[in-house]
């Protein structure tokens, strides 16, 4: 199966070591060898398409950092991820996997090493492992198109390879704890602040999506759980209020939208259910629950063509989904 590496959107500020020493860019030759200088030299080579030289600089930086005895797992993790990007560009997928795995052992749930390892697994035709990595990325950030595209490709490949029961043969997909989510949210907020500060210093404007704070993510999760408790009691109106408060704090949590859509359906507020499902699908275009709930809303609004379109999209991902097949059958009967 052909790998779509362009979907990775590999950045040059991140990334086998070669036996020869790479030539330092001219403007940096006068500077003493240090981890930041070597990393920046690697970034410049990567930007210019000199992946072998970039990998050599990253290797030198890794060696220097390890020899220094400095306990900096975050910095080492980035260097290994950067070098993995070089390997991936050169088609050395085995070493890419090794570096990404080492990077993730130092700092779990890094989006870039997960995406790079997924692409390498895909190239090696290890589709189950690639699927797990792509799905893990979507737990971290459901707006990443490369992860959605990769998941869709792996779904198709695994269906062809293992048949309808392909999900039963998957390794377990890691569950990301609330503490990990908080850590990642804090890191994202810091990165956003750094980008805005740099843009202000350069006299430019940075358009950056708002990243909720760790405290906001924690509170949003608690509100969502309160909403879930109300749903179990059949108190859908109260649940909607809790979900709405949760979304205000963290507007990037897909399940809060799909949960609120379910409540709107129960309250016969079909336009609102359709809107919430659409918001969820903006974040996660292949989300099965969002497609099903929007299809339900379309049916009640008598937009049968749109209902069928959503159900067909859902069944491409889960062709044996019984509830979707039943709804499709019912709508087909109405259309006749």
pLDDT attached to residue 68: 83
Residue 16 is given by DSSP the state -
Query: Residue 302 pLDDT > 80, yes or no?
Result: yes
Q: Among the listed ranges 114-123, 215-224, 250-259, which one has the minimum average pLDDT value? A: 215-224
Extract long-range pairs of 73-78: CB within 8 Å, 24+ residues apart: 73/106, 73/107, 74/106, 74/107, 75/35, 76/103, 76/106, 77/103, 77/104, 77/106, 77/107, 77/110, 77/113, 78/14, 78/39, 78/103
Cα distance between the two ends of the chain:
41
Q: Which two tokens stand for residue 124?
A: 């090696």
Q: What percent of the chain has pLDDT over 90?
A: 58
Q: Give 210's pLDDT tier (boundaries 50, 70, 90).
A: low
pLDDT attached to residue 215: 81
Q: Which two tokens stand for residue 119?
A: 């692409």
Q: Residue 268 and residue 43: Cα distance in Å, rounded? A: 55
Per 3-state DSSP, the chain is made up of helix, strand and coil in percentages (nearest 5) of 75, 0, 25
Q: Please report, for residues 255, 282, 300, 322, the alpha-carbon distance to residue 303 in angstroms, rounded to integers and kept in the order given.
A: 24, 20, 8, 21
Q: For the beta carbon of residue 125, count every other beta carbon within 10 angstroms.
A: 11
Go through the chain and tell me how many residues it has: 336
Per the CB < 8 A criterion, the answer to whether 127 and 154 are in contact is: yes
pLDDT: is 98 or 11 the higher one?
98
Per the CB < 8 A criterion, the answer to whether 212 and 247 are in contact is: no
Across the chain, what does the average pLDDT equal? 83
Q: What is the pLDDT of residues 95-132, one digit of tens each?
A: 999 999 999 999 999 999 999 999 999 999 999 999 99
CA angle 117, 119, 123 (to 5 degrees): 115
Residue 24 is given by DSSP the state P
**By three-state DSSP, how is residue 177 classified?**
coil
Q: Which two tokens stand for residue 148?
A: 């959605």
Q: What is the pLDDT of residues 286-295, one digit of tens each?
A: 899 999 999 9
Domains annotated on the chain, with CATH: 5-169 (1.25.40.10), 177-252 (1.25.40)
Q: Please report, for residues 98, 250, 269, 274, the alpha-carbon distance to residue 240 in angstroms, rounded to integers and kept in the order given.
A: 46, 15, 11, 14
Q: For the beta carbon of residue 154, count every other beta carbon within 10 angstroms.
A: 26
């Amino acid at each position: 199966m052909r790998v779509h590496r362009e979907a990775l959107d590999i950045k040059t500020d991140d990334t086998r070591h070669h036996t020869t020493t790479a030539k330092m860019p001219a403007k940096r030759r006068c500077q003493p060898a240090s981890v930041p200088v070597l990393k920046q030299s690697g970034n410049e080579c990567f930007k210019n398409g000199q992946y072998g030289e970039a990998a050599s600089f990253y290797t030198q930086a890794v060696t220097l950092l390890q020899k220094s005895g400095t306990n900096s797992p975050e910095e080492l993790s980035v260097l290994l991820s950067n070098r993995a990007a070089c390997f991936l560009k050169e088609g050395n997928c085995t070493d890419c996997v090794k570096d990404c795995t080492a990077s993730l052992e130092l700092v779990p749930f890094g989006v870039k090493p997960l995406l790079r390892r997924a692409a390498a697994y895909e190239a090696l035709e290890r589709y189950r492992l690639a699927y797990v990595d792509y799905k893990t990325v979507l737990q971290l950030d459901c707006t990443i198109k490369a992860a959605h595209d990769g998941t869709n490709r792996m779904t198709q490949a695994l269906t062809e390879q293992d048949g309808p029961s392909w999900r039963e043969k998957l390794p377990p997909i890691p569950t990301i704890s609330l503490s990990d989510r908080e850590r990642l949210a804090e890191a994202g907020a810091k990165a956003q602040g750094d980008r805005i500060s740099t843009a202000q210093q350069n006299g430019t404007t940075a358009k950056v999506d708002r990243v909720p704070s760790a405290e906001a993510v924690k509170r949003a999760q608690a509100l969502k759980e309160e909403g879930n408790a109300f749903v179990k009691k059949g108190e859908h109106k109260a649940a909607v209020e809790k979900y709405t408060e949760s979304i205000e704090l963290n507007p990037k949590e897909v399940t809060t939208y799909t949960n609120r859509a379910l409540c709107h359906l129960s309250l016969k507020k079909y336009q609102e259910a359709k809107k919430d499902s659409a918001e969820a699908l903006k974040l996660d275009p292949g989300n099965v629950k969002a497609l099903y709930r929007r299809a339900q809303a379309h049916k009640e609004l008598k937009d049968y063509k749109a209902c069928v379109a959503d159900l067909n999209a859902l069944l491409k991902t889960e062709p044996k989904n019984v509830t979707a097949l039943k709804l499709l059958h019912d709508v087909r009967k109405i259309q006749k």
